[in-house]
A = this chain, B = another copy of it.
Amino acid sequence: MTSLSTPHHDPVTAKPRATMRHVAALAGVGVKTVSRVVNGEPNVSAATIAKVRDAARQLNFEPDIHAGNLRRADRRSQTLGLLVGSVANPFSGAIHRAVEDAAAEKGIAVFASSLDDDPTRERGIVSTFLRRRVDGLILTTASKSQGYLLPELEHGTPIVFVDREPVGVEADAVVSDNANGAAVATRHLIEHGHTRIAFLGDREDIWTMRERRRGYRDELGRAGISSNDAQVIGGIVDEQAARQAVDDLLASGNPPTAIFSSQNLITTGAIRSLRDNDAGHRIALVGFDDIALADLLDPAITVVAQNPQRIGALAAERVLAKLDGDTTADQTYVVPTTLIVRGSGEIRPNE
């Protein structure tokens, strides 16, 4: 056996990539001049620019942005790290898209990763971003504290939290009007005559879940509804669990007349259960976060809609502003939610 080996892509056919040196040689100029042309720096003669452009085109030259970044004064990688719930989730997708649009305008590329509400993933992904020297971070978090980001903040990396407020660090955050939105939803149900309103919640350790539950409870309190009537069910991790939870509620001795489901997947699970149990027109439902085609269901689903586009756009705006030297004090930006009345939330008890 010889020592011949093909460790990776076939080295026989692999053509080397053109560097500035190659371009410089072909154009008959120095590398620094190529650099000047590529970066649009002034004081290069038109003739030289043409020669260099030609050579670069011939060789399919693409500058190595990271090699440049190594020496460049501003050390910008033109890259952002984005961590969202899951890139497969429409809410996250809308945030991602808004961030991409803002970043693309400035030639900035975006790393996007999924958190899955897993603290370990959070740390790993952030580390992955940091090792790639992203210029800024937009993060949804799951860990108990984001104190580990302090050194990065001190270094000057702009960090903006989205969807959930951070713990253990001061930084910008962009979140939905969670407690108020939940209160509005709850009040809406109360105004339609309900007192037995169940709350279907996510995992206890998720900040948005606690905020929404707080809004729900506060509103019940304001209406003078006994907390005995509040059926708070937490720890619902997916659509199937939500379905089961509602099945159980309906089978219980004292079912609620209305349901407030505090999240996307939980809402669809609830819809399925209500449908299965033929209770869709009997039990009111208001969901937190809009769902696709909710207006075409029967009944159409009343929701408190979030504004993920706005959340993403605002987060990107803040990060980019900080990169441009903006020193506005860190704060939490609250993006309003909107009650969208469609039918399911206007069902009255005992109908």
A residues with CB within 8 A of B:
6-11, 13-17, 60, 62-67, 69-70, 74, 77, 79, 86-90, 92-94, 96-97, 100, 104, 107, 109-114, 127-133, 151-152, 154-158, 268, 271-272, 275, 291-294, 296-298, 322-325, 327
Contact = CB atoms under 8 A, between A and B. Distances in A.
Contact of A10 (B107, B111, B156): B156
Contact of A13 (B110, B156, B268): B156
Contacts of A325: 6-10
Given A79-B132, A131-B62, A271-B296, A96 B88 contact: yes
Contact of A94 (B88, B154, B156): B88
Contacts of A79: 132
Contacts of A127: 62
B109 A110 contact: no
Tallying the copies of this chain within the complex gives 2
A13 B154 contact: yes
18 contacts: A9-B156, A9-B158, A9-B322, A13-B156, A14-B155, A15-B155, A16-B155, A17-B155, A60-B151, A62-B127, A64-B133, A88-B93, A93-B93, A110-B113, A271-B296, A272-B296, A293-B297, A296-B297
A318 B279 CA distance: 48
Given A110-B113, A298-B298, 18 more contacts: A6-B325, A8-B325, A9-B157, A10-B156, A10-B325, A15-B151, A15-B154, A64-B131, A88-B93, A88-B94, A89-B93, A109-B129, A110-B112, A111-B112, A112-B112, A292-B292, A293-B294, A296-B297
Contacts of A152: 60
B104 A93 contact: no
Contacts of A70: 64, 66-67, 70
Contacts of A67: 66, 70
A74 to B, nearest CB: 6
A268 to B, nearest CB: 7
Contact of A90 (B65, B90, B272, B323): B90
Contacts of A86: 97
User: Which residue of A67, A70, A109, A291 has the most chain B CB atoms within 10 A of its CB atom?
Assistant: A109
Nearest to A104: B113
Nearest to A63: B131
User: Which residue of A114, A291, A324 has the most chain B CB atoms within 10 A of its CB atom?
Assistant: A114
Nearest to A99: B87
A276 to B, nearest CB: 11
Nearest to A89: B93
Nearest to A107: B128
A128 B109 contact: yes
Contact of A133 (B6, B10, B66, B296): B66
Contacts of A272: 296
